[in-house]
Amino acid sequence: MSDIYATLQEIVGKDYVSNQAEERYFYGRDPGLMPPHEPDYVVMPRTTEEVQEIIRLANKEKVAVVPKGAGLSLTGLVIPQIGGIVMDMKRMEGIEVNEAGRYVIVEGGVTHAALKSHLQKNYPHLRHSIPDSPPIATIVANAVIHGQGRLTQQRGFNSDMVSGLEVVLPTGEVCRIGSCAVSSYWFSKGPPMPDLSGLFLGWFGTTGVITRLGMKLYPCKKMRDVMLYITDRAELIPDIIRKLSHTEMMEDIVVSCAPLPLRFKGVFNMLVYITGDSEEELEFKRKMAWDALREYFESRDGGFMGVSPYMKPSLLAMPSKDTTRFADVSKGGGFEYSGPIAPIEKYPQYVKKLEELASKYNLFYSSAARVIDGGHSMMFSFSYTFNRADPDTMNRAKTALDEAAEFALDEGGVIWKPNLNEQRMVMERMDPNTLKLLGKIKQLLDPNGIMNPGNWEAK
């Protein structure tokens, strides 16, 4: 038995560490297209102190550490590129709500499902921004990759809703970030002080392990409804989004397109979500949405469709099960998307490219674009499905996604949760001084380069 393994057992207890082939196999891959690479150890800490000890051990032994939530970001961000330790955060599942302050402090492994049910049971008038990833996705990791959820149209990226952090730095110190650094309240991740949360959010675990995170909660209205708007003109979509977001009344706006099922063919479906405390409030918002788009109704370029009340539960579900269903459309469980964060005005160009690449590489495609922060940008997904048992489709999907990423960057977007190759593309285009700053920060925080090596390596 190696010293590292024995020490890990001492830190977390023997049930929560493994170097067995089964675990190494499982923790060496994710559901996306990046090649697998196995870790040497998998460890599941329960406390911040245990995380600290593991990090200290890793520094001493110069082994890599990769924090992992549910491993669902799809772009290989939790694949240990040089082996080492995968730190599975799932045992850190504490939830503490400050009802009056409308925020929650979650430990590093709390899932969206766990928080959702905790709030529904104990604080039904509060909610958080739920992404459409499968429910086991973790809140911390989702913020770490700047995820987006149901409240993103109104409130920005899920990481914009963070209200404080507790981080174990790569050198082992525990640091509090935001108001919680000076107060017992977790109401702000930075302001009115320098906002240091930016040293950790978006870094894919390369600058430390977040052990606790404050997340803002928002009023949970008594009712929700969904409207379905259809147009067949991609070039109108930016203006339609502008008009809808101008009302400042929509909870969420998601535009999708796919060649199948047949009702999707040749049209763009926009799901427009609204909330209210009364039927009158909902009705008013429905009317605002109709009025906003009257011009296109009259020109016959678009219109609202009736939504069967039997379809609504699945459309209103959080997370939406449809994305996950789509993920297995080719059977064999392969699905990955390149999701640039992009100017909304580029929607038509992106759609054209999505279809072009699908036909060039003979792939089934879909796209869902979520409006971010009242219409300042969108997440546009180039999604392709593949069968894991068929290396040829996997290759084609990978090439298509690489081209999509290249294209997205050329067209003014920035790649969201980029894989290693895409990180390279982003860094190649980055302002050189910014890139240098990135490197300096990383070097300063992680002098031994142990944290999730390979990612954001500014050479």
| 386: partner contacted, choices other proteins, ligand FAD, none (Cβ within 5-8 A by kind) | none
CB 33, min distance to ligand FAD, A: 12
Per CB under 8 A, 232 contacts other proteins: yes
Which of 96/291 has CB closer to other proteins? 291
What's the closest the beta carbon of residue 259 comes to other proteins, in angstroms?
A: 10
The answer to whether the beta carbons of residues 220 and 338 sit under 8 Å apart is: no
Q: Which residues pair with 274 in a beta bridge?
A: 225
* Closest distance of CB 370 from other proteins, Å: 17
As a residue count, the chain comes to 459
Q: Is 141 in the site for ligand FAD (CB under 6 A)?
A: yes
309 binds, among ligand FAD, other proteins, none (CB under 5 to 8 A by kind): other proteins
Q: Specify which residues 51 forms β-bridges with.
A: none
Position 68 contacts ligand FAD (CB under 6 A): yes
First to last CA, the chain: 36
- 255 - beta bridge partners? 270, 369
Which range touches ligand FAD (CB under 6 A), out of 37-45, 131-139, 240-248, 270-278?
131-139
Q: In the complex with ligand FAD, which residue's Cβ is closer, 79 or 400?
A: 79
Residue nearest to ligand FAD (CB): 69
Q: Cβ 323 to other proteins, closest distance in Å?
A: 15
Is residue 280 a contact residue for other proteins (CB under 8 A)?
no
| Closest among 416, 389, 396 to 405, alpha carbons compared | 416
Q: Which stretch binds other proteins (CB under 8 A): 39-47, 133-141, 313-321, 448-456?
A: 313-321
Interface positions, 405-434, toward other proteins (CB under 8 A): none
Applying CB under 6 A, the residues found at the interface with ligand FAD are: 66-74, 77-78, 89, 108, 131-134, 137-138, 140-142, 144-145, 147-149, 204-205, 209-210, 323-324, 327, 452
